[in-house]
């Protein structure tokens, strides 16, 4: 039976460390670290995410501010707001919730955020620093994946890692992080030839395609570590909806360890967002 990697427990541990760092900064006379979240439009899922992030700030003693803008907000108005928040000494982290309305260029919005306050780690400066190993702010979900992996195997140098997914948000950055840790990394995707065969060679699999239960049991060799980034709501055999990942969880119990869905990568994303905000405050 595979070890289930408890993302909720690890996230709580990271939050405790973040809270201690926040209080140490305040005790040293610095401004309390602050995160600003900008939400444009009324996407229900985005609203839930924003509320979770604000509550998380409260848990660790961090200041949070919200800017909720109508879907009719122009790109120029949004960029002007970002410019004002960039200049605020009380704001150390800026997060613009996606998706954005179709008339707004997401790339232009990301580029407008001060790289030192880009706690999502998506700005080209932070992406470049990650790729060259020169610091910067690491993106939250990929960094959470690495923390989960290292909670099982602290030293991954020399291991073969397969990243299934090539997105700018998860696949590419997690591959760069694994490379920096000394893994031999293969980046694959849903169209990769003989993907099951490549997966069977991997000591570490990070699945981030968004295809429900794509990674089957016979794709995973005994003793591998599996990090499942996907989360999709599907209808179960009983007619009720359930959340599943990119990995057929019950089929991979011969692995050394695997993250569950939910309760694996998801909680780590917010924990790393808060940790990134403190990192930004320490650097500012």
Residue 253 annotated as catalytic: no
Q: Is 240 a catalytic residue?
A: no
The residue annotated as part of the active site, out of 53, 117, 147, 172, is: 53
Q: Is the dihedral of CA 75, 54, 36, 81 positive or negative?
A: positive
CA-CA-CA-CA dihedral for 244, 245, 248, 253, to nearest 10: -100
Structure tokens at 131: 């790729």
**137-163 per-residue burial string, b: 16 or more CB within 10 A, e: under 16:** bbbbbbbbbbbbbebbeeebeebbbbb
φ and ψ of 79, to 5 deg: -65, -35
State the catalytic residue, choosing from 118, 120, 228, 246. Answer: 120
Determine whether 150 is an active site residue: no
Judge whether 33 and 60 are in contact, CB under 8 Å. Answer: no
Per DSSP bridges, beta strands 241-244 and 232-235 are antiparallel
- Token digits of residue 43: 């996407």
Catalytic residues: 53, 97, 120
């Amino acid at each position: 039976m595979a070890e289930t990697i408890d993302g909720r427990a690890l996230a709580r541990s990271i939050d405790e460390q973040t809270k201690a760092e926040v209080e140490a900064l305040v005790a040293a006379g610095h401004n309390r670290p602050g995160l600003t979240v900008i939400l444009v439009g009324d996407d229900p899922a985005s609203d839930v995410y924003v509320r979770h992030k604000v509550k998380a700030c409260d848990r660790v003693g961090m200041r949070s501010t919200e800017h909720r803008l109508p879907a009719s907000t122009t790109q120029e108005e949004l960029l002007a707001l970002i410019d004002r928040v960039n200049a605020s000494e009380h704001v150390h982290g800026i997060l613009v919730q996606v998706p954005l309305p179709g008339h707004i260029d997401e790339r232009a919005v990301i580029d407008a955020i001060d790289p030192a306050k880009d706690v999502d780690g998506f700005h080209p400066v932070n992406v470049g620093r990650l790729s060259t190993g020169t610091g910067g702010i690491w993106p939250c979900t990929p960094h959470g994946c690495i923390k989960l992996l290292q909670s099982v195997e602290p030293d991954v140098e020399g291991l073969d890692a397969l990243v299934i997914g090539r997105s700018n948000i998860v696949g590419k950055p997690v591959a760069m992080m694994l490379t920096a840790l000394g893994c031999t990394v293969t980046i694959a995707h849903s169209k990769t030839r003989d993907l099951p065969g490549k997966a069977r060679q991997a000591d570490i699999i990070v699945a981030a395609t968004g295809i429900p239960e794509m990674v089957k049991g016979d794709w995973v060799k005994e003793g591998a570590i599996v990090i499942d980034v996907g989360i999709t709501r599907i209808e179960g055999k009983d007619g009720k909806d359930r959340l599943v990942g990119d990995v057929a969880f019950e089929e991979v119990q011969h692995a050394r360890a695997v993250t569950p869905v939910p309760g694996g990568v998801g909680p780590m994303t917010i924990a790393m967002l808060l940790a990134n905000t403190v990192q930004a405050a320490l650097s500012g």
